[in-house]
Amino acid sequence: MRHTKKAVFVGLGALVVAGGGFFAYGSLQPATTPEGVRLGEVELGGLTRPEVLQRLEAWWDAQRQSKIQPRSNYLTTQPSSITLEESGVQPDWDATLSNLRFTTYFDRTFGRTVEPTEISIVWKLVESTSASNLAKFVEQNAKPATPASISFEGGKIVRKYEVPAFKLDVDRVGDAMLAAIETGEETFELPLKKDAPTIPNDALDKIQDVMAEFTTSFSEGQYNRSSNIRLACKALDGIILMPGEELSYNKVVGRRTAANGYKEAPVFKNGMKVLDNGGGVCQVSTTMYNAALLADLEIVKRMNHSRPVAYVPVGRDATVDYGSGVDLVIKNQYDFPIAVISRVDGGKVSFWILGRKDPTKSIAIITTDHKAWGNTVKYVDDPSLPPGKETVVDSGAGGRSCITWRIVKVNGNEIRRDNLGRSYYAGAARIIARNPTPAAPDGQPLADPNKTTTTVASNGGTLNPQPTGNGTGTGSPNGNGTD
């Protein structure tokens, strides 16, 4: 019996030793991936973690120069494709391998298997210059922004909505590339952000009616003047004013210079008619002024000419002169946008104010407190004329003044009477050129022109053959309105 028990204990001890050796051996065996695990075409089954990482890095080395194409419909030219390495998107191996199951020696010995899978790369973003390079490309190749516009064609309002400027949203470029790479896409849409519109589409839609219109006539035969009128009208056509915005005639039309296309034509300066670049532009400002009055727009700034003009009644003109402070400024005080439309057709220049018409409102413009006075005569010597001859250089103009009112009625009842101010036209002297040398009587020698002679009046005084009067006015001193 004692021998039997001893044999049993020896056998159990051997079994324990063998079992311990089995577990010790098994614990020393590295864990490996299940058979059948792969990354695309790359087999990863039966590999230890270092071996898997080695194969994955070899795969990435082969993929670094693969390209992805950025694109956008808002560019005139598409950028060049960029490599995965340039994109700043790289594999995150730690995160990738954390999702991979490994089998141990004991799993394999006791038949505990792990289903083979196809692993997916986990990507991460690292610092890259690709976003800044793409930003420069977008800035240079984005489709040009176009402002909102209004035109008036065949009695209908035509709207063109604003196309805003686009820029690259640099903060979202990496995410866009990352999403494309994760899904295996070969292109990705550039994340662009657009500037806030100056005039939103719904605001433009509020311009629905003709609020007022006004037309004046001019002679097409005066080529330079007609050309200036057309040029100024073109600059003003389609201007849109949002609520609270102002329109300065001088800022919009700009300097009336030859370099800007303006020609010499008659203008008034200090009541005198002279030639200057831009003659005729005051008829444009005057026509717009009257349209603005009838649309009940606020008149921020306006001045009259130094003498009356022929194309509107006194008190209804608006002179302008770039750089002198003489300007026409109107303001949209409504809670909706308005548009200024101008057109030259034949010998007529017309302005329309578009916005929202109040059918109950009517506008009338009247003038009161009229005053008038005659002009003086001024002689200038002109030796080129025959002795004793005279010719009218400028017919001049008599002085005028009046007060202009805008009367606003709703449903026929007057609700407001705006005093638009007194217009004062100083007038201008009648200028006569003459040769002061007296004509010789028939058969008599000419008087010595170097000898001073006077004529004595019957009362003993001396007659002054040149009436006094300097012909200067105190109206708009630098106005360049044309007649």
Query: Do residues 212 and 133 share a domain?
Result: no
Lowest mean pLDDT among 190-199, 210-219, 275-284: 275-284
Query: Do residues 134 and 220 share a domain?
Result: no
Give tens-digit pLDDT for 160-201: 999 888 999 999 998 999 899 888 899 999 999 988 888 999
Mean of the per-residue pLDDT values of the chain: 83
Most confident of 250-254, 268-272, 372-376: 250-254
- Domain annotation covers residue 247: yes
- Domain annotation covers residue 160: yes
Lowest mean pLDDT among 2-11, 109-118, 179-188, 273-282: 2-11
Please say whether the dihedral angle defined by the alpha carbons of residues 445, 449, 453 and 457, taken in this order, is positive or negative: positive
**Domain residue limits at 264:** 206-370+400-426
C-alpha dist (Å) from residue 285 to 32, 272, 280: 88, 20, 9
Of 205, 224, 242, which closes a domain? 205
Of 155, 176, 205, which closes a domain? 205
Residue with tokens 């070969």: 186
Average pLDDT over residues 124-128: 85
The reported pLDDT for the residue numbered 397 is 80
Query: Token digits for 71?
Result: 């694109």
The reported pLDDT for the residue numbered 437 is 85
Query: Do residues 239 and 359 share a domain?
Result: yes
The reported pLDDT for the residue numbered 99 is 78
Q: How many percent of the chain have pLDDT more than 90?
A: 48
Find all residues with CB under 8 Å of 413, minimum gap 6, and list them: none
Among 67, 185, 174, which residue's Cα sits nearest to residue 124?
174
Query: Do residues 311 and 212 share a domain?
Result: yes
Q: How many percent of the chain have pLDDT more than 70?
A: 80
Q: Is the pLDDT of residue 443 over 90?
A: no
Average pLDDT over residues 54-77: 91
Q: How confident is the model at residue 210 (pLDDT cuts 50, 70, 90)?
A: very high
Average pLDDT over residues 240-254: 97
Gap between the Cα atoms of 82 and 103, Å rounded: 39
The reported pLDDT for the residue numbered 85 is 87
The reported pLDDT for the residue numbered 274 is 65
What backbone torsions phi and psi does residue 224 show, to the nearest 5 degrees?
-60, -45
Give tens-digit pLDDT for 452-480: 333 333 333 332 333 333 332 333 333 44
Give tens-digit pLDDT for 140-156: 999 888 889 999 998 89
Give tens-digit pLDDT for 292-338: 999 999 999 999 998 899 999 999 999 999 989 999 999 999 999 99
Average pLDDT over residues 220-225: 91
Query: Token digits for 285?
Result: 């400002």
pTM of the complete model:
0.67
**SS3 for 35?**
coil
The reported pLDDT for the residue numbered 163 is 87
- Domain annotation covers residue 439: no
Overall domain count for the chain = 3
Query: Do residues 191 and 289 share a domain?
Result: no
Gap between the Cα atoms of 381 and 468, Å rounded: 15
Find all residues with CB under 8 Å of 402, minimum gap 6, and list them: 314, 315, 367, 368, 369, 370, 371, 422, 423
The reported pLDDT for the residue numbered 414 is 97
- Domain annotation covers residue 475: no
- Domain annotation covers residue 327: yes
Q: How confident is the model at residue 378 (pLDDT cuts 50, 70, 90)?
A: confident
Give tens-digit pLDDT for 402-416: 999 999 999 999 999
Of 186, 205, 224, which closes a domain? 205
Query: Do residues 189 and 236 share a domain?
Result: no
What backbone torsions phi and psi does residue 331 show, to the nearest 5 degrees?
-135, 140
Average pLDDT over residues 341-368: 96
Query: Do residues 212 and 342 share a domain?
Result: yes
Q: Is the pLDDT of residue 427 over 50?
A: yes
The reported pLDDT for the residue numbered 114 is 57
Beta strands in 209-283 (DSSP E): 209-217, 239-241, 246-248, 264-269, 272-277
Query: Do residues 271 and 418 share a domain?
Result: yes
DSSP string computed for 286-327: HHHHHHHHHTT-EEEE----SS--SSS-TT-----BTTTTB-
- Put residue 117 in one of left, alpha, beta given phi > 0 → left and psi -120 to 50 → alpha: beta
Q: How confident is the model at residue 125 (pLDDT cuts 50, 70, 90)?
A: confident
- Domain annotation covers residue 47: no
Q: Is the pLDDT of residue 88 over 70?
A: yes
Residue pair 205/159 in contact (Cβ under 8 Å)? The answer is yes
- Domain annotation covers residue 57: no
Q: Is the pLDDT of residue 24 over 80?
A: no
Neighbouring C-alpha atoms within 13 Å toward the C-beta of 122 = 9
Between 376 and 114, where is the model more confident?
A: 376
- Domain annotation covers residue 138: yes
Query: Do residues 76 and 190 share a domain?
Result: yes
Q: Is the pLDDT of residue 93 over 60?
A: yes
Query: Do residues 177 and 224 share a domain?
Result: no
Query: Do residues 244 and 358 share a domain?
Result: yes
Query: Do residues 234 and 319 share a domain?
Result: yes
b/e per residue, 209-235, with b = 16+ CB within 10 A?
eebbbbebebeeebebbbbbbbbbbeb
Please, is 429 exposed, middle or buried when counting C-beta atoms within 10 Å of its C-beta (0-12, 13-18, 19+)?
buried
Q: Which helix (H) or strand (E) holds 204?
A: helix 201-204
CA dihedral 463, 464, 467, 469 (to 10 degrees): -130
Length of the chain: 483
Residue pair 315/286 in contact (Cβ under 8 Å)? The answer is no
